[in-house]
Every structure is written in structure tokens, then in C-alpha cells.
Amino acid sequence: MNDKRTTLKLLAGATVAALAFGSAPAMAQAKQKVSLMLNWYLYSEHAPFFLGKERGYFDAEGIDLDIQEGRGSGPTIQAVAAKSVDFGYADVGTMIKVGAKGAPVKAIGVALQKSPMSVMGLSEKNIRKPEDIKGKTVAVTPGDSMSQIWPLFLKKTGLKEGDFKTVAGDAQTKLNSVINGQADLLLGYLMDQNIKIQDATKKPVTVIPFADYGVNMVVSGIIANKDVLKDKPDLAKRFMRAATKAFEDAEKSPEAAVDAMLKANAKAGVRDSLIVGLKLTTPLYHTPETAKNRPFRVAPKDMNESFTMLLEYGGLDKSAGKVEDYYTNEFLP
Amino acid sequence: MNKLLNSQWLRPFIMIIMLLVLWDLAIRFFKVPAYLIPPPDKVVGQLIAEWPRLLKESSLTTYATLGGFALSILFGVPVAMLIAYSRLVESYVYPLLVFSQSIPKIAIAPLFVVWFGFGIIPKVICAFLLGFFPVVVSTVMGFKSIEPEMIDLARSMGSTRWQMFYKISLPQALPSMFSGFKVSITLAVVGAVVGEFVGSNSGIGYVLQIANGNFDLPLMFAALVVLSLIGVILFVVIDAIEKMMIPWHPSYRNEFHASA
């Protein structure tokens, strides 16, 4: 008896609700669920997406954006290739390698066009220029993009493998070894490991960016599935329109971007460190070639350089084809 | 032909070939692209091409595994015997052991590199931590499941403590201990690779890292095959030792009759 009454009430309620919503114009234009998978757990670099969400740029394009954390660029790109997610935010170099193996993926916007790759150590070790690396110990992660480009940096700066000692370990070991003094330097990103070392040791860190010595490589970008680009070019255009606005805003007010990310996920990190990180990240949105461009619009020259570097040092197969197969600016505003 | 099919040692290989065929068919049938799962012929090709390197790296992984396994026995068996014979030790130590086992090793592995450097020691310790627990659990069980009547009988006949241990307790505990050793050695392989992952210039864990970075899935799978082979070979060796030490056990008795 009681059950029946409840059912009736529910039915009545549902009818009222349906009537109310049915009359609203929002019903006619339902927002599209779109998923973006990041390259890693949340850190400063990801804040602009949250700013764009908070300021309604994605909503305005009819996109209900779902931001998912990732576990490395490789798996994120695989997820895009398998259409498990709509877009990915991942390392473009890695994407080219996966693409060369037959994955139908393409970069439709390159966020970090200047390379954050660096070799860094505590300032008290007095390592300020490449020659100072001689006789020191460098921590690397075997197989990652930095360790692959490292030989080119050595060549450009006149160093040889035998000039220093190398220790190898995963991302955490690399950090630990510099913090604990087992290594003097590590290969890392200039908006990532240096902040972590500084936070842990309370000592300043000196960074030697690869880009300062003519070794530049594009890094993170928006990755999409080629089939999706063919079927829904409009979605890619709308997504990039919103993302471009979001990244422009983040360049102007990194604090607001970090706050937006922390509001969405309080565990993303320490506010001050995230702001420092993002302030180091936004200058990487442009190279001298693209200084006047809006974010994401990469220069063919920069892409070509990166592609050549991948062929020569990054283990990319010679059958990989042309760089134009792997990126496009046509979906950008 | 029939005789060949029936020989014991050939059966696992037939199974492997069947699995390879199934793998290949599944990839063709479901059109799984090579960047998600590599086709078996590519993996086998990479396995052959990289064999010298894989062999060299796997020997390093095997050392670390054996080191960790030896430590597991050296520490595990005495601790287990203390637990089995003393209620006091059991109540103090056993819960702590179980507690320690629930700590994910991959989370603390980076610390071993900090404490013990980049040499072989952190890998041995990782292998030991994974291999230790099954040895303890099965040895405790082995020594606890000895029939008290047997002990009473031996005592009534005036045997010494040492005789009771050597002639009754140990032989009765061995089957259970060996089942623990077999679990332990396969886990020790995993532990050694975890150790190599967090900090190493060599070993199968290092090959896996490189393959991962280059997106070389066939090499990655080939390294995994080699890793499994290490586990299988070590398992077989322990199985053979077990056979020598407890030929009277029911699990071996049948074979005994057949060959006699």
C-alpha cells in the first residue's frame, strides 16, 4: 500500500519536472559530454583547462568537459587511438612515435612549443653552464624523451658521455637522488622537478634549459583521433576555440587558473608551488617563431626541427613519413 | 607420434603454441591494432633479434632474484620455526609480519635506492620482501600440522629433541615448506624487476623501461616472456630439488611407481 503511494508521488513529481524542464530552451540544446585525458596526475600545467571550465568557455561551445587524470603520455595516446576518450593532452613526440606504429592520432594544437627539458641541480653545487657538468653525477630515467635528446645536448655543448657519471632510475628515484646527494644533477622539466627539489630541500635550484643551447623540442599538445576529426570536425573546432581562450587567460592570470584547478580538486597540489610552476610554463607557449600567435598555433619550422630530432635521436623509425601527417592547425581559431 | 604427444615435457610447449595461435587469431578476428597489442610474430621476431642482450640482462635479474630468495629462506625459515614453536613469539611477531606484507612494495622501493644506492642490494631487498612472506606462512603451517601422536611416540621411545626434529618434524613440514618456496621464487622475480624499475642501468626491468619509452611493444612483450621464463626455470629447479628431498610424498609417489 505504502509502496504504491510512493510510486504515485514519484510519477506526479516526474511529470511536473518534465513539464518544467521541457519548456526551458536549454532542453533543446543539450550539452555534449566531452572527455579530455591528461598526460599525468594534476599539476600546474593542467590549470588552464580548469580555468576555461570555470569561466564557461567550454559551456559556451556546448561542451560539458570531463577532465581525467592520466598515467603517462603513452597510455593517454592509446586511449585516444582506441576512442576511449575524445581528446588527450600528451607529449607530441610520444604521439608521433605511437602514430608511426599505426595509431590514428594527430596533434590539433601544440601547447608547449618551447622545450622545458633541462638539466638541473642544487645551486650550491655551482653548476651553471654545460662545462660545469664534467666530473659530476647525472640522474636520468632510461627511455624517456629527455634521456633520448640528452646526447644531442651533449653534442651541441661539446660534452662526451665519459665526462660525467650517470645513474638511472624512475621519476621518483631521480628526484630522491638529487635531494639526498647521490646525484648532482637530473634531467627534468624546468617547471616540475626544480620546484619539487626546492620544496623538499628549501634550497635554490639552478636550471640549464636545453633550449638555451639550441636543442628545442615541442612537448605537450592536444591529441585527437583522425577518424573523429573526419566525422566531427566541428567538435574539434569548438574544443580548440574554448581551449585557446582558456590558455590566453591563464597567461594573463596564472593565479586564477591555479585557484580554478584547486577548486575542482583540492588535492592537486600546494597553491604557491603550482603558481610558480604555471608562471614558468606559460612562457613555453611561444617560440620566437610564434611570439605573435595565439596559443596552440605551432610554427612549421618548430615542428620540423622536432621531427628531425626524433628521427635522429628519439628512436623514431625512418618509415614514419612526413611531419605534416602528425599535426594540423586547421582546427584552431 | 602418439608417444611424442604423451611425453610430459612436451605438453607445456604444445599449450604455448596453442596460446600463440589463439593470440594471433584473436588479433586478426577482432582487428586489434598493433599499437595496442603486438602480434605474436613481431614479439617472437624481437625475441630472436634481441636475444643476446635479453640473455645478458636476464642474468642480472636472476642474480637479484636468487639473492632475494636465499635471504627469504635464511630469514623466513628460522622466523617461521620460532613462530610455530612459541606462542609468545607468534602473538608478538606474526601480526606484524602480516601487516608488513600489506605494504605495497612499489611504493617504498624508491626509498631502498636512497638507502642502499644504485647497486644490486636494493633489488635483492625488493625480491626478499616479496619472497619472504610465503616462506614464513607455509613453514609455520608445515611445523604446526605435525601429528602430536608421532611426537608422543618418538618421545616415549626416548629420542632426543634433535632426533625428533630431524626424523619427524622436518620431513613432515617439508612438503608445505616447498609449496611456499615455489610461490616465493616466482614472487622474487617480480620483486627484482620492481627494484630494477626504480633504479638501475641494467636488468630486465631496465629493458622494460627503454621499450616503454620507445613505444616498442614487441620488445616489451619479449622482455616479459624472458621474465616469465626465468620464473619458470627457477620454479622447475625447486620442483626438482623437492622431488629429491621428499620422494615419499603422495604428489610424487605415482610417478615413482610408474618409472619403477
Of B111, B198, B215, the CB nearest to A94: B215
- Is this complex scored with an ipTM above 0.85? no
- B104 close to A (CB below 8 A): no
Q: Do A168 and B212 touch (CB under 8 A)?
A: no
- B25 close to A (CB below 8 A): no
Q: Which stretches of chain A sit within 8 Å of chain B by CB?
A: 74, 78, 81-82, 94, 97-98, 101-103, 141-145, 147-148, 166-170, 172-173, 176-177, 180, 182, 315
* Alpha carbon distance B194, A170 (integer Å): 11
Q: Do B199 and A148 touch (CB under 8 A)?
A: no
**Could you report how far apart the first and last alpha carbons of chain A are, in Å?**
61
B127-163 pLDDT, tens per residue?
999 999 999 999 999 999 888 888 888 889 888 888 8
Kindly state the cell numbers that stand for B52: 643476446
φ, ψ dihedrals at A66, nearest 5°: -115, 110
Which residues of chain A are in CATH 3.40.190.10 domains?
32-114+218-325, 117-213
Residues A325, A327, A332, CA angle at the centre, nearest 5°? Answer: 140
What is the DSSP annotation of A211-265?
A: GGGT-----EEEEEEHHHHHH-HHHHHHHHHHHHHHHHHHHH-HHHHHHHHHHH-
C-alpha torsion sign, points A37, A38, A41, A43: negative
Q: Measure A308 CA to nearest chain B CA, in Å.
A: 16
Cβ B204 vs Cβ B57: under 8 Å: yes
Q: Measure A168 CA to nearest chain B CA, in Å.
A: 5
Nearby residues of B3 by Cβ (< 8 Å), 6 or more positions away: none
State chain B's maximal CA–CA distance in angstroms.
73
* A284-291: long-range pairs with CB below 8 Å, 24+: A284/A112, A284/A113, A284/A114, A284/A115, A284/A116, A284/A191, A284/A219, A285/A111, A285/A112, A285/A113, A285/A114, A285/A247, A285/A251, A286/A113, A286/A114, A287/A113, A287/A114, A287/A216, A290/A113
Cβ A216 vs Cβ A149: under 8 Å: no
**CB contacts, 8 Å: A147 with chain B:** 213
Question: Per CATH, which fold does A32-114+218-325 belong to?
Answer: D-Maltodextrin-Binding Protein; domain 2 (3.40.190)
- B172 close to A (CB below 8 A): no
- B130 close to A (CB below 8 A): no
Surface-to-core class of residue B141, CB atoms within 10 Å of its CB (0-12 exposed, 13-18 middle, 19+ buried) = middle
* Alpha carbon distance B223, B203 (integer Å): 10
Cβ A138 vs Cβ A184: under 8 Å: yes
**CB contacts, 8 Å: A101 with chain B:** 34-35, 215, 217
pLDDT at A17: 47
- Residue numbers of chain A with a pLDDT score lower than 70: 1-29
Q: Do A102 and B197 touch (CB under 8 A)?
A: no
CATH classification for the domain delimited by B39-259, as one of 3.40.50.620, 2.70.70.10, 3.30.1370.60, 1.10.3720.10 = 1.10.3720.10
Beta-strand runs (E) in A99-164: 105-110, 117-122, 137-140
Kindly state the cell numbers that stand for B27: 588479433
Selected for mutation to probe chain B from A83, A96, A97, A101 (highest B CB count within 10 Å) is A101
* Alpha carbon distance A249, A153 (integer Å): 33
- B53 close to A (CB below 8 A): no
Question: What are the domain boundaries of chain B?
Answer: 1-32, 39-259
A264 CB neighbour count, 10 Å cutoff: 15
**CB contacts, 8 Å: B214 with chain A:** 97, 143, 315
pLDDT at A71: 87
Q: Do B217 and A101 touch (CB under 8 A)?
A: yes
pLDDT at A24: 42
A15-69 pLDDT, tens per residue?
444 444 444 444 445 789 999 999 989 999 999 999 999 999 999 999 999 999 9
Indicate the pairing of strand A32-37 with strand A185-189: unpaired
**CB contacts, 8 Å: A144 with chain B:** 213
Helix then strand count (H, E) for chain A reads 13, 10
Which amino acid is it at A18? Answer: A
CATH classification for the domain delimited by A117-213, as one of 2.40.160.40, 3.40.50.620, 3.90.1150.10, 3.40.190.10 = 3.40.190.10
Per-residue pLDDT of chain B in tens (260 residues, 90 and over written 9): 666 666 777 888 888 899 999 999 999 999 888 888 999 999 999 999 999 999 999 999 999 999 999 999 999 999 999 999 899 999 999 899 888 888 888 888 888 988 988 889 999 999 999 999 999 999 999 999 888 888 888 889 888 888 888 888 898 999 999 999 999 999 999 999 999 988 888 899 999 988 888 888 999 999 999 999 999 999 999 999 999 988 887 777 665 454 43
* Alpha carbon distance B173, A234 (integer Å): 71
Nearby residues of B72 by Cβ (< 8 Å), 6 or more positions away: B127, B128, B131, B132, B135, B184, B188
**CB contacts, 8 Å: A171 with chain B:** none
Q: From residue B240, give the alpha-carbon distance in Å to each of B3, B229, B234, B253, B257.
A: 23, 16, 10, 14, 17
